[in-house]
Amino acid sequence: MYATNADLGFPSRAARTTRTDLEEWIHDARVYVAIREGALAGMLRYREAGKKGDPEFGRFAVPPQARGEGIGSALLDQVASSGYRARGGRRADSAADVRRPPVSAGSLPPTRLPENAGVTARGCSVRRVTHGEAAVIGRPCLSAGTRSFEMSSVFAPTVGFTTVRYQETRMSDDPDSHEFATNSIHAGQESDPTTRARAPPIYQTTSYEFEDTDHAAALFGLEETGNIYSRIMNPTNAMLEERIATLEGGVGALATASGMAAFDLATFILADVGDNIVSASSLYGGTYTYLTHTVAKRGIETTFVDTLDYDAYAEAIDDDTAFVHLETIGNPALVTPDIERIADIAHDHDVPLFVDNTFATPHLCRPLEHGADLVWNSTTKWIHGAGTTVGGILVDGGSFPWDEGDYPEISEPNPAYHGVNFYETFGDMAFSVVARTRGLRDLGNQQSPFDAWTTLQKLESLPLRMEKHCENAMAVAEFLEGHEQVSWVNYPGLESHETHEEASKYLEGGYGGMITFGLEGGYDAAETVCNEVELFSLLANVGDAKSLIIHPASTTHQQLTEEEKLASGTTDDLVRLSVGIEDVDDIIADLEQALESA
């Protein structure tokens, strides 16, 4: 039978403490064992979650100060133990001979497990109490970057088994102790627990076997974290999600089929019929069309404001506003708004700030550190960087108080999930859980495991590639600024750019790989340059290792009215460059010969 938290004397999910407290508990490296009333001795068996083979055993005696307290807890190092048996039946009398978790010494055992040991966002939980049969051990925990164990203990004189899941995070694996480049390679993935393969595997499967009907019921009831169906969760996708969540500084992430799928996923959760969205006007053309036409079919209106007119944001927000949206580097004008100022405006109205970080990537900017609540990226662009894989990512900052706004999907009993209140149940992970269990489950806009796997490969080189993109783009911008046929240049790194000051504040390590410029010859000259380049590729994508060029007025922003084009900064003479990582002299030479033809 399952024992609830209340049955065991542990707090409910709603009473658990913050993620920070959880991490402090994990990093303290203490291992807590549930002690049943009257227990004097017992046997502990444990193994790393996901591993097969014989578990390790340790018999122990319960110290006097931990007895008679009801269902309490004791530190493992406070339990006198002997007769350890390692895998394969080998007997070992020294803890050094057994792969048991490290513990802290010299602490008196508490009378209860820490509050956040009951049920947590990371999946640490007292899972079940069974009688008359062995408790299940070895279930994988989906918290990438940690080592996860389950311990089964049988106590005398009371006959029964108690299973306690705990996590141990080795400090060397703590993402907070690593720099960005290290996390872009390591976060979210360890060697495969079964094969010890170091590279991330592709879990190309639709579904996952349950251990028994109780396990299945716990997963479907959201009592336990685990894989059910790859439309909702997949281990390969989970590695990508954990890695980008770490890079962005979020509490969770969801990998989607495209960047627009990530944006739509958030809109599906946050906005309903009669709501509205307030958005900066400097936007990718696809986003602009989505906001003006697609969501309108759902009864959701969008108010566009001048990206740099901060009073306009406050004036546009009303009681029906679902969220405020902007781009870190607005497309195509490449303006960088004052993110913190807009975040304050949104929060004053109990509305979250949702930021498209595609053009900056988390390498240059982490909007969550500047007040944003949600972030999305088209991983198709710089995060992948090879032009082979379409994908998106939605990152939850875990910071917004959803119960203070009008977000019934999150902070009210949800009829689509047997009345669960996600915010009360999951706290700072509420949005992530709703987006997964309501959004991905019902919309089916998840990323394929193969696409997630290819993105993981390319993500490892993101810091190196972004440095080169930024270096090349600055050189190209300076070249264009001095060319007689070029009437203007937009690049955040140029002091002449209208938001150079804001870009210098929010972008670290460079100003991105995008440039827009205008030609004296107008529309015709812009088309000529696009047609005459040889090294550049004329296509609609950006963020490729290869240099790309396009004329937005006739392509990406073609569907906009003349007024909408002007509002977004798309003029007839505008040419957009996505500067690649080729030798910069070759890039400039190609542009120079194309400009001569114009």
| pLDDT higher than threshold 60 for residue 165 | no
Q: With a threshold of 0.95, does the pTM exceed it?
A: no
Window from 108-112, 517-521, 532-536 with minimum mean pLDDT: 108-112
Give the torsion sign (CA, 373, 378, 384, 389).
Answer: positive
**How far, in whole angstroms, is CA 147 from its chain's centroid?**
20
- The residue with greater pLDDT, 62 or 280, is 280
Q: What are phi and psi of 537, to 5 degrees?
A: -105, 130
Note the pLDDT of residue 358. 98
The domain spans of the chain are 5-175, 236-459, 462-597
Note the pLDDT of residue 194. 78
Burial of 43 per CB tally in 10 Å (0-12, 13-18, 19+):
middle
How far apart, in whole angstroms, are the C-alpha atoms of residue 137 and residue 94?
23
Note the pLDDT of residue 134. 26
- Interacting residues of 43 by C-beta distance below 8 A, sequence separation 6+: 57, 58, 59, 60, 153, 154
Measured CA angle at 233 (ends 188, 19), to 5 deg:
50
User: Which of 493-499's residues contact partners 24+ apart within 8 Å by CB, and which partners?
Assistant: 497/334, 498/308, 498/335, 499/308, 499/335, 499/336, 499/337
| pLDDT higher than threshold 80 for residue 500 | yes
Residue 191: band (very low, low, confident or very high) from pLDDT cuts 50, 70, 90: confident
Residue 273's identity, in one-letter code, is: V
CATH 3.90.1150.10 given to domain 462-597:
yes
- The residue with greater pLDDT, 68 or 223, is 223
Q: pLDDT for 241-260, tens place per residue?
A: 999 999 999 999 999 999 99
Window from 85-89, 415-419, 584-588 with minimum mean pLDDT: 85-89
| pLDDT higher than threshold 70 for residue 519 | yes
| pLDDT higher than threshold 90 for residue 507 | yes
Window from 160-164, 417-421, 432-436, 456-460 with minimum mean pLDDT: 160-164
Mean pLDDT score, 200-210? 94
- The residue with greater pLDDT, 372 or 1, is 372
CB of 140 closer than 8 Å to CB of 50:
yes
Residue spans of alpha helices (H) in 385-495: 408-411, 422-426, 430-434, 441-443, 449-459, 462-481
Q: What are phi and psi of 190, to 5 degrees?
A: -120, 175
CATH 3.90.1300.10 given to domain 236-459:
no
Q: Which residue has the tokens 């922003």?
A: 557
| pLDDT higher than threshold 50 for residue 170 | no
Window from 290-294, 310-314, 426-430, 516-520 with minimum mean pLDDT: 426-430
| pLDDT higher than threshold 70 for residue 198 | yes
**Rounded mean pLDDT of the chain?**
77
SS3 197: coil
Q: pLDDT for 565-586, tens place per residue?
A: 777 778 999 999 999 999 999 9
Among 331, 326, 291, 321, smallest CA distance to 310 is for 326
Residue 177: band (very low, low, confident or very high) from pLDDT cuts 50, 70, 90: low
How far apart, in whole angstroms, are the C-alpha atoms of residue 515 and residue 332?
9
Mean pLDDT score, 453-457? 97
Note the pLDDT of residue 417. 87
Mean pLDDT score, 487-504? 97
The pair of three-digit structure tokens given for residue 589, joined into one six-digit string: 């030479």
Q: How far is CA 248 from CA 342, 362, 565, in A?
A: 19, 5, 31
SS3 278: strand
Q: Which residue has the tokens 């890695």?
A: 243
- The residue with greater pLDDT, 62 or 141, is 62
How far apart, in whole angstroms, are the C-alpha atoms of residue 307 and residue 324?
11
Residue 489: band (very low, low, confident or very high) from pLDDT cuts 50, 70, 90: very high
Window from 2-16, 49-63, 544-558 with minimum mean pLDDT: 2-16
Residue 346: band (very low, low, confident or very high) from pLDDT cuts 50, 70, 90: very high
Edge-to-edge strands, sheet with 514-519: 486-490, 514-519, 574-578, 548-550, 537-538
Q: Which residue has the tokens 């029906």?
A: 320
Mean pLDDT score, 31-46? 42
Note the pLDDT of residue 554. 87
| pLDDT higher than threshold 50 for residue 215 | yes
User: Which of 224-228's residues contact partners 24+ apart within 8 Å by CB, and which partners?
Assistant: 224/123, 224/125, 224/127, 225/123, 225/141, 225/142, 226/139, 226/140, 226/142, 227/142
Mean pLDDT score, 376-391? 98
CB of 231 closer than 8 Å to CB of 446:
yes
Among 222, 229, 253, 239, smallest CA distance to 119 is for 222
pLDDT above 90 coverage of the chain, percent: 60
pLDDT above 70 coverage of the chain, percent: 70
Residue 108: band (very low, low, confident or very high) from pLDDT cuts 50, 70, 90: very low
Among 508, 214, 217, smallest CA distance to 369 is for 508
Mean pLDDT score, 473-499? 97
